[in-house]
Amino acid sequence: MGDQPLVRWDWITGNLVDPIGTRLLEHLQLSLSPILIGLLLAVVLGVACARWRWLYPPVFTGVNVLYAVPSIALFFLLLPYTGFGPWTAIIPLSLYTLAILVPNVVDGLGQVPDHVRQAAVAMGFSPLRRLVQVEFPIALPVVIAGLRVAAVATISMVSVASLVGLGGLGQLILTDGFRRQFTTPIVVGITLSVLLAFLVDGVLVLAQRLLTPWTRDHGAAAGRGSARRGEGART
Amino acid sequence: MITFAGVTKRYPDGTTAVDDLHIEIPTGRITVFVGPSGCGKTTSLRMINRMVEPTSGSIAIDGRDVRAQDPAVLRRSIGYVIQQAGLFPHRTVVDNIATVPLLLGWKKAGARARARELMELVGLDPEQAGRYPHQLSGGQQQRVGVARALAADPPVLLMDEPFSAVDPVVRTGLQDELLRLQSELRKTIVFVTHDIEEAVRLGDSIAVFRPGGVLAQADAPERLLAEPVDAFVEGFIGYDRGVRRLSFFPARLLDLHTDAIVGEGAPIARAREVARSSGEPWLLAVDGERRPRGWVAARDLERGAVGSVDAVGDLDLVGYGHVFTVATDSLRAALDAAVLSPAGRAVGVDEEGRVVGVVAQTDLGSAIWAVGTDDAPTTRPVGRNG
Ligand SMILES: Nc1ncnc2c1ncn2[C@@H]1O[C@H](COP(=O)(O)OP(=O)(O)OP(=O)(O)O)[C@@H](O)[C@H]1O
Ligand SMILES: [Mg+2]
């Protein structure tokens, strides 16, 4: 890359809105959608698995097998059907979050003490109301812990989606930086995606504090839940 | 009234938890289900609010089959308290208590106001309203559990070993509280325990279950202690049932002696005179307000062992142990006080703690013997300690 400086500030200021801003927004959209869709699916699957325990082993194996498929393969597999639209990235990334979120939803619901569930039944909660008003809130700390891992993993994986030209900060790194042997967009892209991960994580931590005030002064009992999977790198 | 008519529960694995149960649970009374572990008490209780469905037979509340109602609706009219309290960890005390009113569609403000009323009723500090359950002691959690069960003013209350996870002192306090509440509220209470002592204290009637889910005997506690139907019931209620039965006879029945009491200011010579004329081996010294001070042995007065002391109150008095309240305590309390007294005598006091008279172990013996032939005990244990 010759003798040019690592970061050229004039390039940044000149390209702040486009492509930097555009790519950032794309990245945000491409990571938030899978997280939300994944959460929704995981809640449905997790509740079903908690209700019918026999369902859990096959579902667990299923989401883990999915997780093992390289993302790039999935992107290419979907390309003929969904083209270069955002869904080509969103669908596989949503499926990946399941491997983290489904076990956490099941574990979270499993943390509801039996006597609490019994008491809810005895007081006349209907099954749906019991789920929404008693079991979900108690499961929330564990679910949010999983969500944090899933969010950071997804944000980093979106960059891979750019390899197949699906947009996001990876696109900045790849087309503006790598192909043109120009370091500034690469540095900007990496920095922004790390910042984005920090930001989303911070929002989730804040949400956890606001939504579960009862866990605040006793870390031992309720804040114990943690995600199963580390934030392993994936290609 | 809750009626069990030929109720049997067989679990899918073949266990017969309850076997052909016929029992009537009277309205406004406390009925206790008691028996060894696994004899079907919890199962029987849960069939009332349909958390368990009977295999055969039927259960009716005031003549209406419980199966005629939607289970969730039925349960909102039946309070339920369990051992670990079952409080919702994510709701504050006040919101835990407001649960059933909210389920019934009350406005939030109304439900919370009602919850605060109940906190007061069960003796919880209003400052604890905003706390979460894990910030309370076990005893306080149980109070919240009771308050929550009572919040919608259900006519029926089911309690499954509600006090067995707290220490004995707290348990006694909670039992007293329950009796006080019940004297105001007159709920139909079904109370499960495996502690016969608790059953006798709380129950207007007691149903003893035997293993296999068979009802062995259902009777008023006093009759149960006096006439267990068979060896199983007798063994279960324990071999000290004779002493326990004294709980049902008031200490009022005793003849108290008043001739062996001296004021603490009385001169030694006067005390000696009292001892001689009464023939009592022990004199009780009392203060100016007739509160007990301690025992003086008549023997010591005679022997000149008193030295240079002038008044009874200046002697080395022997501790009088604990007293019994004549008007409200039972023969059991009097016996206990006498057994523990170094003088072999129990001090009976009035409600203000002033001495009414004393009774010796030997006199107690004849009173107890009379009780054995007398058939008119009270239906509920007398006094604080049963
Ligand atoms: N869901 C169930 N499935 C199978 N068997 C059960 C079930 N619940 C209870 N049982 C069995 O039914 C019998 C009665 O149980 P239950 O819980 O009613 O006893 P209990 O008198 O309340 O005992 P404890 O004093 O230990 O609470 C026991 O043998 C128990 O193992
Ligand atoms: Mg039980």
pLDDT value, residue A232? 40
Domain boundary among B225, B248, B271: B248
Q: Residue type at B353?
A: G
In terms of Cβ atoms closer than 10 Å to its own Cβ (0-12, 13-18, 19+), residue A60 is: middle
Point out the ligand 1 atom lying closest to the alpha carbon of residue B11: 4
- What pLDDT is recorded for position B379? 61
Of A124, A217, A222, the CB nearest to B89: A222
On chain B, the residues whose CB falls within 8 A of the CB of A131 are none
The answer to whether the CB of B29 falls within 8 A of the CB of B188 is yes
B11 domain-assigned: yes
- Our mutation pick for probing the ligand 1 site, out of B9, B15, B215, counting the most ligand atoms within 8 A of Cβ, is B15
User: Which residue, by CA, sits nearest to atom 26 of ligand 1?
Assistant: B37
Test mutation, A114, A116, A118, A123, chain B, max B CBs within 10 A = A123
Q: How far apart are CA B319 and CA B343, in angstroms?
A: 9
Contacts B84 to A, Cβ<8 Å? 113, 115
Q: Is B372 exposed, middle or buried (0-12, 13-18, 19+ CB in 10 A)?
A: exposed
Over A23-76, what HEC string results?
HHHHHHHHHHHHHHHHHHHHHHHHHHHHHCHHHHHHHHHHHHHHHHCCHHHHHH
B157 lies in the same domain as B229: yes
Question: B262 and B241 share a domain?
Answer: no
C-beta separation of B254 from B367 below 8 A: yes
User: Residue A2: its pLDDT value, please?
Assistant: 54
Cβ of B38 closer than 6 Å to ligand 1, yes or no, is yes
pLDDT tens digits for range B20-62: 999 999 999 999 999 999 999 999 999 999 999 999 999 999 9
Percentage of residues in chain B having pLDDT higher than 90: 61
Closest CA to A107 of A153, A166, A149: A149
The CATH number that applies at residue B329 is 3.10.580.10
* B106-161 confidence digits (pLDDT tens): 999 999 999 999 999 999 999 999 999 999 999 999 999 999 999 999 999 999 99
Same domain for B316 and B195 = no
Asked if residue B216 has pLDDT above 90, the reply is: yes
What mean pLDDT is predicted for residues B191-216?
94
- Residue B328's domain comprises 251-372
- B137 in a domain, yes or no? yes
Instruction: Decide whether any atom of ligand 1 lies within 6 Å of the B42 Cβ.
Output: yes
**CATH code for the domain of B89:** 3.40.50.300
Residue B297 domain-assigned? Answer: yes
Do B182 and B271 reside in the same domain of the chain? no
Of A119-128, B3-12, B228-237, B372-381, which range is least confident?
Answer: B372-381
Which one of B13, B32, B33, B39 would you pick to mutate in the ligand 1 pocket, going by the greatest count of ligand atoms within 8 A of its CB? Answer: B39
Residue B383: inside a domain, yes or no? no
Of B359 and A159, the structure prediction assigns the larger pLDDT to B359
For residues B12 and B119, membership in a common domain is answered with yes
B33 lies in the same domain as B165: yes
pLDDT at site A43: 95
Last residue of a domain, one of B248, B264, B291: B248
Read off the pLDDT band of B369 (50, 70, 90). Answer: confident
Please name the residue that has the structure tokens 């002691």. B137
How does the average pLDDT of chain B come out, rounded? Answer: 90
Cβ neighbours of A118 in B, within 8 Å: 51, 82, 86
My answer on whether B124 and B180 are in the same domain is yes
Of B205, B222, B248, which closes a domain? Answer: B248
Q: Are residues B21 and B121 in the same domain?
A: yes
How many CA atoms lie less than 13 Å away from B257 in the CB half-sphere? 22
Q: What is the pLDDT of residue A216?
A: 80
Q: Could you read off the pLDDT of A119-167 as tens digits, one per residue?
A: 999 999 999 999 999 999 999 999 999 999 999 999 988 888 777 777 7
Alpha helices by DSSP H, listed for B151-279, are: 168-185, 196-202, 221-226, 231-237, 241-245, 268-278
Same domain, yes or no: B191 and B159: yes
In percent, the amount of chain B with pLDDT more than 70 equals 95
Q: Rounded CA gap, B279 and B271, in Å?
A: 12
Residues 6+ apart with CB under 8 A from B334: B251, B254, B324, B346, B348, B359, B364
List the pLDDT tens digit at each of the 235 positions of chain A: 456 777 777 777 777 777 888 888 888 888 999 999 999 999 999 999 998 999 999 999 999 898 888 888 888 888 888 888 888 888 889 999 999 999 999 999 999 999 999 999 999 999 999 999 999 999 999 999 999 999 999 998 888 877 777 777 877 777 777 777 777 878 888 888 899 999 999 999 999 999 999 988 754 443 334 444 433 434 4
**Domain range A9-234, its CATH number among 3.40.50.970, 1.10.3720.10, 3.20.20.70, 3.40.190.10:** 1.10.3720.10
The Å distance, Cα B106 to ligand 2 centre, comes to 32
More confident residue, A41 or B377: A41
Of A118, A129, A214, the CB nearest to B89: A214
Nearest-ligand number for the alpha carbon of B41: 1
Residue of B304 and A59 predicted with greater confidence: A59
B60 domain residue, yes or no: yes
Task: Write out the E strands in B44-135.
Answer: 56-61, 64-65, 78-82
| pLDDT for the residue A34 | 93
Beta strands in B271-354 (DSSP E): 282-286, 292-297, 324-325, 345-349
Q: Is the ipTM of this complex over 0.90?
A: no
Ligand index nearest the alpha carbon of residue B40: 1
Q: How far is the CA of B38 from the centre of ligand 2 (A)?
A: 7
Residue B27 lies in a domain: yes
pLDDT of residue A163: 74
Do B18 and B54 lie in one domain? The reply is yes
- The winner for highest mean pLDDT among A7-16, B181-190, B248-257 is B181-190
Please give the tally of structural domains in chain B. Answer: 2
Q: Residue B306 has what pLDDT?
A: 59
What are the boundaries of each domain within chain A? Answer: 9-234
Q: Contact at 8 Å (CB) between B54 and B4?
A: no
Collect all residues of chain B within an 8 Å Cβ-Cβ radius of residue A114: none
Say whether both B217 and B364 belong to one domain.
no
CA-only gyration radius of chain B, Å? 26
More confidently predicted of B352 and B238: B352
| Position in ligand 1 atom list of the atom nearest CA B46 | 18
Do B265 and B241 lie in one domain? The reply is no
Whether residue B57 lies inside any domain: the answer is yes
